[in-house]
Amino acid sequence: MQQWSEDPLIALDLETTGLDPLEDRIVQAAVVLVAGDGAVSEASWDSIVDPGIPIPAGASKIHGITTERAQLEGMVPIDALQRIAILLNDATDAGTPLVIYNAPFDWPFVLAEARRHGVRISTPQIIDPLVIDRAVERYRRGSRKLEAVAMHYGYDLSQAHDARADAIAAVAIARAVGARYPEAGALTPLALQPLQARWCTEHAERLSRHLGKPIDPGWPLPSNAGHLA
């Protein structure tokens, strides 16, 4: 029986002005469709987005997009959201899972921006390679950042913090972890939804005990962003 990791997948990745989806904005977005054989579809889309607010220097240092560059090269947010919505809604209608590495960061930004501009986004089945990797290789030492985890699974991510490159890397990790670990790969994307939520909660509880401070357990949305669903 063919597993979801062998099927077509669609991936989303964002770069933003900061960490708060209610106050910060998207500055780069990518929605990448990847066939079962790994080929990236020409229907994939990515663009810089003019957020309409200044991009802090700290954020620019991470992703390389300044306020000036966003104003010069960026799409207006509603146009970008409409492109995202078309691709995601079509994929959801087709039953294609959506891969997001660390969904509780990116997904609230999409929903907040969609609400801001009145754009409808369907609810997809989300595959989160970060959550799955932390669950199946709980005791592995080292960073769980996208670049490090990609390297662990044999994928060379040479352009980290570029939304398109990061989205493609997320699919590569999802396929690798799904193929290697049947406790994730043998399940349907639908069955993975509550399991990923549980894994995220368990990780948050362990991390909270280790750090001595609360860590939000919500997935695919943080607990304080549930109103965006």
Domains in the chain: boundaries = 4-191
Residues 6 or more apart from 62 whose CB is under 8 A from it?
Answer: 15, 161
User: DSSP readout, 212-229?
Assistant: TS-----SSS-GGGGGG-
Predicted local distance difference test score (pLDDT) of residue 222: 94
What integer is the mean pLDDT of 152-164? Answer: 91
Instruction: Provide the 10 A C-beta neighbour count for residue 50.
Output: 23
Q: Is the pLDDT of residue 60 over 90?
A: yes
Predicted local distance difference test score (pLDDT) of residue 125: 98
Q: Are 44 and 30 in contact (CB under 8 A)?
A: yes
pLDDT band at 229 (very low <50, low <70, confident <90, very high): confident
Helix (H, G, I), strand (E, B) or coil at 163: helix
Topology of domain 4-191, CATH: Nucleotidyltransferase; domain 5 (3.30.420)
Q: Is the pLDDT of residue 1 over 70?
A: no
Lowest mean pLDDT among 43-57, 70-84, 162-176, 215-229: 215-229
Q: Which residues pair with 127 in a beta bridge?
A: 99
Predicted local distance difference test score (pLDDT) of residue 224: 82
Distance from C-alpha of 90 to C-alpha of 86, rounded to nearest angstrom? 6
Residues in the chain: 229
Q: Is the pLDDT of residue 123 over 70?
A: yes
Can you read off the two tokens belonging to residue 23?
């106050």
Q: Is the pLDDT of residue 170 over 90?
A: yes
Predicted local distance difference test score (pLDDT) of residue 63: 96
% of the chain residues with pLDDT over 90: 93
What integer is the mean pLDDT of 30-51? Answer: 96
Predicted local distance difference test score (pLDDT) of residue 161: 86
What integer is the mean pLDDT of 123-145? Answer: 97
